[in-house]
Amino acid sequence: MGLTETEKAAYAKDGFVAGIQAFSAEETAAIRAEIEALEAQHSAGASGRSLNHYFRVNGQLVIPLLAKLARTPAILEKVADVLGPNLLVWSVELFIKEPHTQSVVSWHQDITYWGMGETDEEVTAWVALSDVSVEAGCMRFIPGSHKNSIVDHADTFDEDNLLSRGQEIAGVDEAKSVHGPLKPGEMSFHHGRCFHASGPNQSNDRRIGLAIRYVTPEVRQADTGPDYAIPVRGVDMHQGWIPVAGASSLFHPDDLALYDQVLKHQSTTLAGNADGDVALYETAGGSA
């Protein structure tokens, strides 16, 4: 159930690897159906925040499906081959681009606004829940860019940019980029310092991606104190995180109260030093 030696070597060398199997076609179709049922039945969300807000920011705390998916054994086994046996889930997000729309994600490094420094003890598992082809706006990566430090990002606040501040890295040589198309049920892994971006969805179907951010217990939030995470594998001997269980039922009052607490803790870091106002749900960090 783990990564192949080729996949491990590719991640270490390039900072990303694509085409890893997470779910069968049947499982993927069922997950997509559950997500679209939530959209049909609960679009208004809860506590004055839309469902889309919770899809984009810490949905694992209030939506049981997202907490469950983050615990998928087939994913955890493969993440463990990158990070080791002890794993926490920091956040779970859905990135949805409707067909024939102009939504894009500019070149960026995820970890820029996470408050974790330049740690290597994190990885994003990005799972395709639809056909994420080049035409549909799959992610592009700059191989080896994870070996850089965190670089400067400029805030554009472009309305078509799915990132929190439209943040982007200037001067990226796109000729060096590599596309990472995914079939339904496949996933890619990428490092938080790996330069990545994605284009508009020019296909006839929705482009649906699930981004799960895994960290190890060794990661610290030096500026803000302990952050919140769900223990999903192994043990946390360091106890540097505040452990949470994840959603107990959809929009349970206790979970919504915790959500407010977590959002308050994280928002200062995630929106820090912004050049303009950051919309409430857009305190998310990125991942195309």
Q: Is the pLDDT of residue 215 over 80?
A: yes
Nearest to 269 by CA among 114, 146, 46: 114
pLDDT in tens, 35-64: 999 999 999 999 999 999 999 999 999 999
Tell me, yes or no, whether 190 lies in a domain: yes
User: Average pLDDT for residues 63-78, to the nearest whole number?
Assistant: 98
Tell me, yes or no, whether 82 lies in a domain: yes
Based on the structure, what is the number of domains in the chain?
1
Q: Is the pLDDT of residue 224 over 90?
A: no
Tell me, yes or no, whether 11 lies in a domain: yes
Write down the pLDDT at residue 283: 40
pLDDT band at 225 (very low <50, low <70, confident <90, very high): confident
The angle at the Cα of 171, spanning 165 to 176, to the nearest 5 degrees, equals 110
Mean pLDDT of all residues belonging to the chain: 90
DSSP state of 101: B
pLDDT in tens, 247-267: 999 999 999 999 999 998 888
Tell me, yes or no, whether 174 lies in a domain: yes
Query: 132: phi > 0 → left, psi -120 to 50 → alpha, else beta; which?
Result: beta
More confident of the two residues 105 and 24: 24
Write down the pLDDT at residue 1: 84
User: Average pLDDT for residues 93-105, to the nearest whole number?
Assistant: 90
CATH assignment of the domain containing 263: 2.60.120.620
User: Average pLDDT for residues 227-256, to the nearest whole number?
Assistant: 96
84-98, 156-170, 240-254: least confident range: 156-170
Tell me, yes or no, whether 288 lies in a domain: no
Q: Is the pLDDT of residue 282 over 70?
A: no
DSSP-assigned states of every residue in 109-166: -GGGGSSSTT-SSEEEEEEESS-B-TTTT-EEE-TTGGGS-----B----TTB-SSS-
Tell me, yes or no, whether 214 lies in a domain: yes
Nearest to 287 by CA among 187, 174, 202: 187
Which residue range forms the structural domain that includes residue 169? Answer: 5-283
DSSP state of 276: S
Alpha-carbon Rg for the chain, nearest whole angstrom, is 17
- Cβ–Cβ under 8 Å, residues 224 and 167: no
Name the range with the highest mean pLDDT among 106-115, 157-166, 211-220. 211-220
Cα distance between the two ends of the chain: 26
Q: Is the pLDDT of residue 230 over 90?
A: yes
- Cβ–Cβ under 8 Å, residues 126 and 210: yes
Residues of the chain with pLDDT > 70, as a percent, come to 89
The token duo for 177 is 């980029």
Tell me, yes or no, whether 77 lies in a domain: yes
Beta strand 105-108 with 186-190: parallel, antiparallel or unpaired? unpaired
Helix (H, G, I), strand (E, B) or coil at 89: strand
Tell me, yes or no, whether 20 lies in a domain: yes
Write down the pLDDT at residue 102: 83
Instruction: Please give the order of strands across the beta sheet that includes 196-198.
Output: 105-108, 196-198, 139-141, 178-179
